[in-house]
A and B are shown apart, each in its own frame.
Chain A
Amino acid sequence: GQSLEQPSEVTAVEGAIVQINCTYQTSGFYGLSWYQQHDGGAPTFLSYNALDGLEETGRFSSFLSRSDSYGYLLLQELQMKDSASYFCAVISRGKLIFGQGTELSVKP
């Protein structure tokens, strides 16, 4: 079967760095994506890794290790507006399979 594991919630303070981990088990793996969703809003794309290594986009970075079936999203210089749910998702046989999401709370 296919499964993704990520922490259900994480709390951090403004200005800090937080890492959200994602481990996956799937067949036909193609890549790992990260999405952000604010309460009541639509998911928005953050990053995508098809190859091993780190991808950086501004304050956000994403890492993938295919051999370990593991990835993470790194958020730096946290801001209050970063409080949201973060989903990892794997592309497997043409389907985007989402994890259960990590609720990030940023405190002042």
Chain B
Amino acid sequence: KAGVTQTPRYLIKTRGQQVTLSCSPISGHRSVSWYQQTPGQGLQFLFEYFSETQRNKGNFPGRFSGRQFSNSRSEMNVSTLELGDSALYLCASSLNEGRGDEQYFGPGTRLTVT
């Protein structure tokens, strides 16, 4: 069974631009969660989608948004990029919503904002 895939793997953007990241979960998994990882803040929860609905949201500004499609693929968007948005963005999929017993992480998208 193929793992979680994320595209692109690396991205360089300029401050003020917007970016869209994509995540394809493991086949059959309906829950997709997004995380931001930085050396200073560690792994922080952004949001979780299940059956095309946002179920939970972390403490991030409204510039961070996401969506999930009917095939469970998910995208997250960051608008008006700031230097502090430079991070590794990870998505994780799981069978069920809101459960932390086993999440499968993708390789991440490394975003650099200049």
A and B assemble together:
yes
Interface residues of A (CB under 8 A from B): 30-31, 33, 41-45, 48, 50, 87, 89-91, 93-101
Within 8 A of A (CB), among B90-114: 90, 92, 97-108
Query: Do A96 and B33 contact each other (CB < 8 Å), given the known contacts A42-B90, A101-B42?
Result: yes
B55 contacts chain A at the CB level, 8 A cutoff? yes
Roughly how many angstroms separate A89 CA and B7 CA in the complex, as a whole number?
26
Query: Do A48 and B33 contact each other (CB < 8 Å), given the known contacts A87-B43, A95-B48?
Result: no
- Chain B contacts of A96 at CB under 8 A? 33, 35, 45, 100, 103
- Min Cβ gap A20→B in Å is 15
Asked if B90 contacts A43 (CB within 8 A), the reply is yes
Roughly how many angstroms separate A94 CA and B33 CA in the complex, as a whole number?
11
Nearest 5 pairs of A and B residues by beta carbon? A91-B100, A94-B98, A98-B43, A42-B105, A48-B101
Across the interface, B45 reaches (CB within 8 A) one of A48, A97, A99, A100, namely: A97
Roughly how many angstroms separate A30 CA and B98 CA in the complex, as a whole number?
10
Query: In the complex, given contacts A48-B102, A96-B35, what are 5 additional A-B residue pairs having Cβ atoms less than 8 angstroms apart?
Result: A41-B107, A45-B104, A87-B42, A90-B100, A94-B48
- Min Cβ gap A67→B in Å is 20
- Chain B contacts of A44 at CB under 8 A? 105
